[in-house]
Chains A and B, each alone.
Chain A
Amino acid sequence: MTLIAFLGSLEIGLVFALVALGVFISFRIVNFPDLTVDGSFPLGGAVAAAMLVGGWHPLIATIAAFAAGALAGLTTGWLHVKLKIMQLLAGILVMIALYSINLRVMGKPNEPLLDTPTIFSAFSSASVSASWVTPLVLLAITLMVKFALDWYFASEVGLAMRATGGNARMARSVGVSTDRLSLVALALSNGIVALAGALFAQSQGGADVSMGIGTIVIGLAAVIIGETILPGRSIAIATLGCIVGAVLYRMLIAVGLNSDFIGLKAQDLNLVTAILVTIALVMPVSKRYLARRRSAAGAAKKEVSSC
């Protein structure tokens, strides 16, 4: 892999680290399988791109993208909590609605940002090349989000939110408003995903209405790979796992793109992705199974020897 390809993978990995952090909040913290992200990721890109082209400051455009994503998450939460629509369905409904909304936001299916100032151009200078600036800025933003989440989940509200996902009935019995916290969690999750979408559009040349396809799979893959590489129960480790998982996932894709030497071709990419995620999903289960068998075998041996 060349340095440029490596930095490019790092860059996209860091964007998807934010997606992974968002997905981590919905899937792992409040236990809500949220498919909204396939719509909120392009929503972030659309809002940021439309505002940048409209002459807004990149920072304001990026923050607005976060807010738009949070609103989308709130909508999903509201559909589930207030209207009692199934979690999966609520997410799907908002996701397909966002497709139309994204077209409205941009006014067309594709908004290029190739000659528009972005949040990254503020940091680039003649002395440092763009292929270094973008990953560095993304690393800074990702770490900021990670530490903010670590802090938040250690606070009283954050702990209550974790209790909501862990055992909603128990949480309610000690006076936690689980409905409200689910809404906050989904807003936060989709806000971060939309932020990722905004950064992706700004670093990759533009927003496209189709750019959300598969976001959830990539986010989930990153979360799961992260959990496998960095097992542990603390939030700080888990959020770090999301970042490491996302970057590693992108490196794996880069291997897929450079894998003439193992005989893999361009068309095998999605299959390889699905297999990797399946392996990562099955791992914890088979580990428990093996452990049980081992302890059973150990017990049997003990019995034999005591005879």
Chain B
Amino acid sequence: MNRFLRDSLLSLALAGTLAPPVLAADVRVSVTAIVDHPALDAARKGVTDELADAGFVNGKNLKLEYQSAQGNTATAAQIARKFAGDKPNVIVAVSTPSAQTALAATRDIPIVFSAVTDPVAAKLVKSWDATGGNVTGVSDLPSLEKHLAVVRQAMPASKRIGVIYSPGEANSVAAIAELKKLAAPAGITVVEAAAPRTVDVASAAQSLIGKVDVFYEPTDNNVTSAFEALAKVADQGKVPLISADPSVATRGAAIGVGTNYYDLGRQTGKLVVRILKGEAPGKIASQVSTKLEMHVSKSAAQRQGLMLSEDFLKSATKVVD
């Protein structure tokens, strides 16, 4: 029995070394993400659709491969090595850790990152301009200036913005630093509450009641997972909840304003197509996702004591209930 296990483990490992080569396709694009999660999945779908529209159809003239690291950095590193060995035409790396491990694995194969907030701080590119090398991509750096404008438009009297975030998420930490910089000249203070785990979200929000005029939630994965808990506190405390993720207007936010990840994927796909058609990634400047969406929930706004003008509602991309 023991020998059986040993033999089967060994033969499985051997099978890997003898895996059949992939079918000869015209073009190969390999996609990797650190985890499967709605925003990242939407970005991936955007890439696929954009490729299809440009005439690269998976299974026909394109071999599209997707690997998820399921939250494990070691697996992400191994996926990066696998891709480096497969030598696809382009590697699409969704999220910061995926892009970093991809760049550690290859300096030759073009890498297009997607949904990376700050590619310069992550050392994927030296600057936002075209800087040579094998990397370019689309950032989901939220346009905090526009978010702040929405907050001030919806609540002109707000002086204190409460932010709930996970201190372990690079995206959120960067967003708060930027928000503080923008808010200070306008005389607005940013009050932080850290929620390192999903179960901490409600108590973090409660700690801000009475200290803030409005809640702002950056696209924090942890807080988004427990969004209903945050919405409940906002309802009880009558503090309007504004999020950087448009989709949470259906989950209790009064206003969701931010990046549409499907469109971000589309934008990423455009870069992939340009590279497939012969452009060098080092000659393409990194971009920020351009399309912003604003979803408004009338009932949530009412529960949280937020009066919205007709004009404001008209400016929304989508109004739910």
Contacts and interface: CB of A to CB of B under 8 A. Distances in A.
Interface residues of B, number: 51
Contacts of B70: 266-267, 269-270
Contacts of B169: 109
A266 B67 contact: yes
B132 interface: no
A204 interface: yes
Nearest to A211: B73
A255 B85 contact: no
Given A8-B105, A100-B196, A110 B96 contact: yes
A132 to B, nearest CB: 13
B203 interface: no
A9 B78 CA distance: 6
A225 B82 CA distance: 23
Nearest to A205: B104
Interface string A226-239: 00110100000000
A255 B20 CA distance: 12
Contact of A110 (B6, B10, B170): B170
B78 A250 contact: yes
B97 interface: yes
A228 B72 CA distance: 25
B71 A210 contact: yes
A206 B123 contact: yes
Max chain A Cβ within 10 angstroms of own Cβ: one of B15, B74, B75, B169: B74
Nearest to A229: B6
Contacts of A283: 1-2, 5
B25 interface: no
Contact of A252 (B13, B20, B167, B173): B13
Contacts of B178: none
Contacts of A183: none
B81 A114 contact: no
A76 interface: no
A208 interface: yes
B104 A203 contact: yes
Contacts of A200: 73-74, 77
Interface size class of A (residues with CB under 8 A): 35 or more
A284 to B, nearest CB: 8
Interface in A90-135: 99-100, 103, 108-110, 112-115
Interface in B1-60: 1-2, 5-6, 9-10, 12-13, 15-20, 36
A202 B169 CA distance: 21
Interface in B119-176: 121-124, 167-170, 173
Nearest to B122: A112
Max chain A Cβ within 10 angstroms of own Cβ: one of B2, B15, B81, B101: B81
Contacts of B168: 99, 103, 109, 209-210
Interface in A249-279: 250-255, 257-259, 261, 266-267, 269-270, 276, 279
A253 B78 contact: yes
A103 B13 CA distance: 37
Nearest to A104: B167
Given A5-B84, A112-B100, A287-B1, A251 B13 contact: yes
B103 interface: yes
A254 B80 contact: no
A305 B122 CA distance: 77
A104 to B, nearest CB: 10
B192 to A, nearest CB: 14
A136 to B, nearest CB: 16
A286 interface: yes
B19 A261 contact: yes
A209 B73 CA distance: 10
A208 B101 CA distance: 11
B78 A115 contact: no
Nearest to A276: B9
B84 A8 contact: yes
A6 B103 contact: no
A115 B123 contact: yes
A6 B17 contact: yes
B86 interface: yes
A214 to B, nearest CB: 5
A218 B81 contact: no
11 contacts: A1-B17, A110-B97, A200-B73, A203-B77, A205-B104, A211-B74, A214-B74, A251-B17, A254-B82, A266-B67, A279-B5
Interface of B: 1-2, 5-6, 9-10, 12-13, 15-20, 36, 66-68, 70-75, 77-82, 84-87, 96-97, 100-101, 103-105, 121-124, 167-170, 173, 196
Interface of A: 1-9, 11-12, 15-16, 99-100, 103, 108-110, 112-115, 200, 203-206, 208-211, 213-214, 218, 225, 228-229, 231, 248, 250-255, 257-259, 261, 266-267, 269-270, 276, 279-280, 283-284, 286-287, 290
